[in-house]
Structures are given as structure tokens and as C-alpha cells.
Structure 1
Amino acid sequence: MATTTSPAVTTSLASVTLEVADVEAAHRFYSAFGVDRYVRLREESAAHSSGFRGFTLGLTVSGPATVDVFFGAAVDAGATVLKPAAKSLWGYSGVVRAPDGTIWKIATSAKKDTGPGTREIDQVVLLLGVEDVKATKQFYAERGLTVAKSFGGKYAEFAPGGQSSPVTLALYKRRALAKDLGVPADGSGSHRVVLGGTADAFTDLDGFPWEAAAPPAPTPS
């Protein structure tokens, strides 16, 4: 009978840290947007960064009215509209770019509301744009992440670990992700995002850095 060996190193996503030029301004924006509990902030390094950073953070909510609530809050707080909130084949969504440059997509699979808009978030997803979904999925599986959903070489989503953050990790083709967000796919240098894991530091196949997650930092007053 075949035996299964455990990976030498296991990790799960414990935090998402955005590198920003102005930590206090970013904190004000994310508080007004209503997502400050999902991300950590720190001053960006001097590393070069240009163009598409290769990832997005997505909010999944209950209905179109709630998409509009978060979309409006982001725009009122200073976000730039990349795609206005609108109906699509898959539901209703909109895309904004935060003042620090991070792209956020707010979406629902529902096409009609069953109640008024709220500030409730069903799921937050960190979607990494990668060159080879299958290879990167295998890379993470070897580090102990459990694949929860997989659609060939197009998309993969990982199950949360025991010490996970409230953010789900997923993979998508880089160029397809850029197209979905309405931005050019070209970009280089730092991704300006750091993933906190429950194991030692490493860098994945597309240059996304992981570090050993530290306890949450005090929230600025």
C-alpha cells in the first residue's frame, strides 16, 4: 500500500501586508473603505516597482447594492475607478485602484438584491497573477497548502489553514487577471505586497515574497 509523506515545510496564509508610501494616509483610506482588518500596512522599500503589480484583492459580497456601498466608500475615500460597477455574465462587480496603487475588485454573483446594501463582506481573496497556474499550485501544495478549487491551468484556490488570516489565497493567469481588471499586463519590480505565513520565509515562482508572520501591529489612532 502506498504511503503519503508530509511536506518538509508547511505553511498557511496568516497575513497580507501592503507596502505603501504613506502608512497613515493608507490607514485612513482602508478604514473608510471598510477593509482595514484584512490588511497590514508598512512603509514601502526603495525597490523598483512599475506597472501592474501582478495581484488584486477582491471582496465577495451578497448583492449589487452592497457592491455599490463598498465601491462608493472607496471612491469617496480617494480610489480611482478602473471599471465602474456594472452587471456582467457572472454577476455584478466594479474595480478600483486605491491611492497606494493596490487594485481592489468588489463583486457578487447575484444579479438582483434581496435586501438593502450593507457593510458585510462574505470573502476577501488575494488573487495572484502567475505565469503558470499548475506549476505555482504544485509549488504551494508542496509547502502544505490544500487546494480547495482548481480549474486546470486557469484558476486555483487554497483552503485556509488552522492559523489563517481571513483572506483566501488564489491563483489566476497574470494576463487574464490584468484583462479582467482593465489594466495593461506589463509590470516589473516589487509587487508591493508581502504574504505572511506560518513557516519560514520564501519567494514563490513569480517573485511574491512570504515571511514568517508577526503578531498584528497596533492600529494607528
Structure 2
Amino acid sequence: MSLSSIDFLSVVRSCIPEEAEIVVLKQEGDPAAILYADVDGDGFPEITALYRYLDHQYLFSLKEYSGNWFPIGSASTGRNLAVKDFAAAPISRKEGWDVLIGWERAEEPIAELDIIQWTQNGFQRVIPPGTTYSHLEIEDMPTRNGQDGLCEIALWTQEQGQAYRVETFRWDPFRLVPTSDVHAYYFQKVARYYENLTQEQPNEPLYRSYLEDAQKRVGSS
């Protein structure tokens, strides 16, 4: 089945309770929380979505068989927060992508990261609570040896004004760990961000200090 032939909203609505609502992300354009990616590792993409029903939010996946869609897994998220980010990527394994959810904390300018993996026992969280960020980027970042087919995560956390603390992470069995061997690549992007800020606000020393730190990280890895 081709991607263009799938009416994702209609498929998801047909598989959830009539009174349920598909979760809408807190992003420009209000996109629906729907993904199309292989989360169970069988080589074929599933539809994975979030919906709200009776004050609970649920994560579920649908698989297509002979032109029809059937649920293969569903679980309550245990959260009733707004959703900032919803993505799928090969974080912990190359086959069977992880689902990443950014839960927006009420009245706070940060989100909390959840990474959820499909297993034989259904969906399971693979990181403990407490990983927070303001902006999230997911990419297979190259080291000196190139890319490895697994994605790293960059977390930008707002500190002052438009200044962010930026850290990169990768999966080390059973947990996310900070990694510096992608700094030469990724912090070029961070440096460009602060170069633009220093040009726009040349009398603001704060951004120049963040620029210098980013440039050091590019050169030290």
C-alpha cells in the first residue's frame, strides 16, 4: 500500500472509540499525533497514534492486512499532558523503531522526554522519568567513523533569553548517555545558531560566550 493512498486520520478514527479524540501536537499547524513507521521490527510500517478518551491518553499501533487495518497493541500512557513532540526513530535498535514523546509540562517552557519500545509484551518505557528539554532534534549523527544507522538525540534546554544548553545523547544498552564524539558534526549547527544571534545582537555578550563554547566543542571532539 502506497503512502499517498492512506487516509491516516480516517484510519485512526475508525479504530478508536467514537467519543475519543486524536491528540493534536503543540506545534505550528496543529498536526495530529500520527506516525507511519516500522515499530515492531517486521520490515513493514505501522500506523502509530495517540488518542484521548475519558481523561486518559492512549498509544496504539495498527497493522495493515489485505487492505484492512487492525490494532496490534494499545496502552495507556499514564499521562494527561499536552504533547509537544511525537516521533519514531532507530534509537535503541535498527529494526523496530522507538517511539519518542515529548510531554509538555503545564505552565513550564519545557517538555519531558519519553522513549517507548514495542516488545512481545506490548509497549514499554525504556528510560526513567526526568529527562527534560526545550527543543529536540533526532538524527543519525556521524562520528569520525561515519554514521552507524542509529540516531543520536540533541536536547536544547533554555537557560537565558535565546541561549540554550545543548547536549547530545545516544543509546548505550538500557539507557541514554551523553556523547561527545558527534560534537565536531553537530556543534557546527549550534555555532551557526549563535553566529546569527551575535550578528543580530552585537552588543549582547551572552550569545558570544555561548558561541565560543560551541566552537570549542567543534574543535575538541
Common fold by TM > 0.5: no
The structure with the larger Rg is: 2
Category of TM-score, reference length = shorter chain: under 0.3
TM score, norm. by length of structure 2: 0.24
- Between Structure 1 and Structure 2, which shows a larger proportion of strand residues? 2
TM-score (norm 1): 0.24
Structure number with the bigger relative contact order (C-alpha 8 A, sep ≥ 6) is 1
